Structure 1
Amino acid sequence: MIKYLTKIFFLLLISNSYQSCNGQIKSEPKQKETKTTEIGKAVSELDNQIWAVFQDKKGNFWFGSNGTGIYFYDGKELKQFTQNDGLISNQIRGIQEDIKGNVYIETPDGVNKFDGIEFTTLEVIKSTTNRWKLEPNDLWFNCNGNANNVYRYDGQNLYELNLPTQDIENTLGIRKSENPYTVFGINKDKNGNIWFGTVLAGAFRFDGKSFLWIGEKELSRLPDGREPGVRSILEDSDGNIWLSNFKSKYSITPNSTKEYERIKAVDLSEEIVRDKILYFNSGIADNEGNLWMTTYGGGVWKYDGQDLLNFEINNGEEDLLLICIYQDTNGTLWLGTNNDGVYKQTGKGFEKFEPKHRSSR
């Protein structure tokens, strides 16, 4: 038990700079090809700390590190890009792509746009009227996680917006001075609504017109003092929303007085409750509708609609400290870790990913 609590407290220590890397927002096919870049340098391996994994429309992979920039792999060559190449920061928190094939690199210091040739930094426009919009091709970021700021990119401008404040002091016992609205997770549901998970203020859903707030104590500060936060928002095959924990899921009920219902997610055994971490920091719904969730040092969890299964992930010497999970276009799962690079799903489980190089062919 002490082992798992130690790991969750370490996760909380890095949480102010961490963003779940599971925001895989689908967009329309690319309209034009981009040129091959000549910047960056060829390297032979990935950094041990990989916090983001992404596959672009061409099939290339991008791996974002926690301090050595971003890595680009086209199946033949591995290249590394850093601040020397135009990145605003070497700490990567998220990677997305727009309908034109431009790649966007999210960092604690802002957002870079890569057009296939060079990196540029998006200038933030503070919306004085705080007008929220929700368009199909918008990209969303939380950047450095300041206060209750989120950022919407409409293809032209990057707008800074503010989540609506709630009476969290009376509802959750949280003071505003604690920056409770700091955003961790951003995900879209099947209906196109955008969800924001926070450190202490629960979760918000924006449908393009109004907000739904889920302010439950299990999503805020726990009785033992832990602050897991809502780092990842998942939707299961029944349309229920999972907010970074295995205990509860939320049924959204339009036209109801409360608008949602909290229900038990899964039946947890005494062993799991006693020895495992009940909160996950990254998750996805795969092509078959299964939920996959990662915990920091607690392995990978799979929920198939009936059973919750745990798969321990280690390299023979130590448990992997899992940061993110990602599914590529072939349905293969990838794991980004904080201590041993990237792991790729195989028929036998997960194995460490070692990029191949032209010189080795």
Structure 2
Amino acid sequence: MNSVQMTLYNILLTIFFLTFNSCEGQNNSQTRQGETVEIGIMVPDLDKTIWAIYQDKSSNYWFGSKENGIFFYNGQQIKQMTVKDGLVSNAIRGFQEDAAGNIFIETERGVSKFDGRTFKTLQVAPPGYFTNEWVLNPDDLWFRMGAGSNGPYRFDGKYLHFLKLPQSPQEAEFKSKNKNTSVRPYGLYTIYKDRKGIMWFGTASLGICRFDGKTLSWHYEEQLQTTPEGGDFGTRAIFEDKEGEFWINNTRFRYNLKPDSSININFQKEDGIGYLDERNKKEFPFFLSITEDKEGNLWMATYDNGVWKYNGKELIHYPVRDGATDVLLFTIFKDNKGVLWLGSHNAGVYKFNGESFEKMFEK
């Protein structure tokens, strides 16, 4: 083979390997926007009860319903996926994605992993396999698996490890006031990872437990748990803003964390922000979900009072209605382009158009 033939051979060989690797990479990756998954059935609309929203790295949207499975939207079509397709449960509570593009679906009965083609149920570590091992690895995923467990599940890439929360300083007082033994005060309402990778766990009745990799610490305040109407709100939302300060459940205070290794989280409280209601009384909205836009504004979704935006100076109210009916909100999500989405209990999904939240996917 002469030099010209050798050069041509090398060029053709390079093209072959580039083409092969490109095709192989596409086969192993998540579906791209505009493509669809092979499983599930085509549907014209979403469920009315959407409790979780996520957009993956390939720009596909995942909507999790209260009890009717997943609604997958690729920008063109909607597909519904349920236990008939391999999901462990139809009660969807959250989505996460790992570095390889696998989607993890948290449900009331377990966690399903979707690799682009099929669902696989994650296995809980067998008894005695690193039982109750509290460690903090950057690639681990954390799940609630329902609000009734007395601690989180940590996924290390192989097994789910159940980690029991330590005793709260508030437990004795809670038990003295609540004789109903069926109530699970340690049940998790939310799990939050802050900018440093530290884990925060919001419980049903005992406030917050925080794990920094070494120490498990607690924080409880009556004003964070009890609404003005007297109901027990639980700890449903924790968020670290661009200035590194934390917002928990409502806007009465924001919290500046101080390093400490004691059993109690060491916070410095600063005044938050309120609004005047129709009686000219100052109120502080309780929110179930919170996010931050590209400009650093905070957006807080309440259950029955729309969305509140905090721009650093004031609270701005965005009512959300389905005709004449107030929409009961559950979650707010910022997608890959910074667009805000809302999931609700009674009216499906809403999207922010720059001025208001408009209903999406109407038939």
Q: What is the TM-score when the length of structure 2 is the normalising length?
A: 0.83
Shift of residue 171 of structure 1? 5.6
Q: 1:113 to 1:147 in 2, by over 3 A?
A: closer
Shift of residue 134 of structure 1? 1.3
Aligned equivalent of 1:206: 211
2-structure distance, mates of 1:222, 1:348: 29
2-structure distance, mates of 1:130, 1:338: 35
1:298-309 correspondence to structure 2 within 5 Å: 298-309=305-316
Q: Which structure is richer in relative contact order (CA contacts within 8 A, separation 6 or more)? A: 1
CA deviation vs aligned residue, 1:123-144 (integer Å, no higher than 9, x gap): 1126664111111121111012
2-structure distance, mates of 1:255, 1:151: 25
Shift of residue 34 of structure 1? 4.0
Structure 2 gap ranges (5+) = 1-25
Shift of residue 354 of structure 1? 2.0
CA deviation vs aligned residue, 1:258-316 (integer Å, no higher than 9, x gap): 62123322244354885967311111122222111111111001112221222111122
Q: Is the 8 Å Cα contact of residues 277 and 295 (structure 1) preserved in structure 2?
A: no
Higher mean alpha-carbon deviation, 285-294 vs 56-65, is at 285-294
Aligned equivalent of 2:169: 167
Aligned equivalent of 2:116: 116
Aligned equivalent of 2:346: 339
Higher mean alpha-carbon deviation, 124-133 vs 61-70, is at 124-133
SS in 2 for 1:88: coil
- Match among 29, 43, 48 for residue 33 of structure 1: 29
SS in 1 for 2:290: strand
SS in 1 for 2:300: strand
Q: 1:228 to 1:115 in 2, by over 3 A?
A: same
1:103-142 correspondence to structure 2 within 5 Å: 103-125=103-125, 129-142=131-144
Aligned equivalent of 2:99: 99
Higher mean alpha-carbon deviation, 263-272 vs 107-116, is at 263-272
Q: What is the one-letter code of the residue matched to 1:163?
A: L
Shift of residue 53 of structure 1? 0.8
1:44-55 correspondence to structure 2 within 5 Å: 44-55=44-55
Higher mean alpha-carbon deviation, 312-321 vs 275-284, is at 275-284
- Match among 289, 296, 299 for residue 289 of structure 1: 296
Q: 1:273 to 1:129 in 2, by over 3 A?
A: farther
1:239-254 correspondence to structure 2 within 5 Å: 239-254=244-259
Q: 1:273 to 1:245 in 2, by over 3 A?
A: farther
Higher mean alpha-carbon deviation, 87-96 vs 121-130, is at 121-130
2-structure distance, mates of 1:334, 1:59: 14
- Match among 291, 311, 317 for residue 310 of structure 1: 317
SS in 1 for 2:251: coil
**Structure of larger gyration radius:** 2
2-structure distance, mates of 1:351, 1:57: 24
Q: Is the 8 Å Cα contact of residues 325 and 334 (structure 1) preserved in structure 2?
A: yes
Q: 1:284 to 1:174 in 2, by over 3 A?
A: farther
CA deviation vs aligned residue, 1:60-112 (integer Å, no higher than 9, x gap): 00111112110111112211101111111111111111111111111111111
2-structure distance, mates of 1:101, 1:54: 13
- 2:187 pairs with 1:191: no
Q: What is the one-letter code of the residue matched to 1:300?
A: V
Number of corresponding residues: 327
Aligned equivalent of 2:58: 58
Higher mean alpha-carbon deviation, 210-219 vs 113-122, is at 210-219
Aligned equivalent of 1:83: 83
- 2:239 pairs with 1:237: no
Q: What is the one-letter code of the residue matched to 1:254?
A: P
2-structure distance, mates of 1:252, 1:171: 25
2-structure distance, mates of 1:128, 1:112: 22
Q: Is the 8 Å Cα contact of residues 277 and 283 (structure 2) preserved in structure 1?
A: no
Shift of residue 155 of structure 1? 1.7
Q: What is the TM-score when the length of structure 1 is the normalising length?
A: 0.83
SS in 2 for 1:53: strand
Aligned equivalent of 2:145: 143
Aligned equivalent of 2:328: 321
2-structure distance, mates of 1:316, 1:155: 46
2-structure distance, mates of 1:286, 1:110: 31
Shift of residue 224 of structure 1? 5.5
Shift of residue 179 of structure 1? 1.6
2-structure distance, mates of 1:271, 1:264: 22
Structure 1 gap ranges (5+) = 1-29, 357-361
Aligned equivalent of 2:14: none
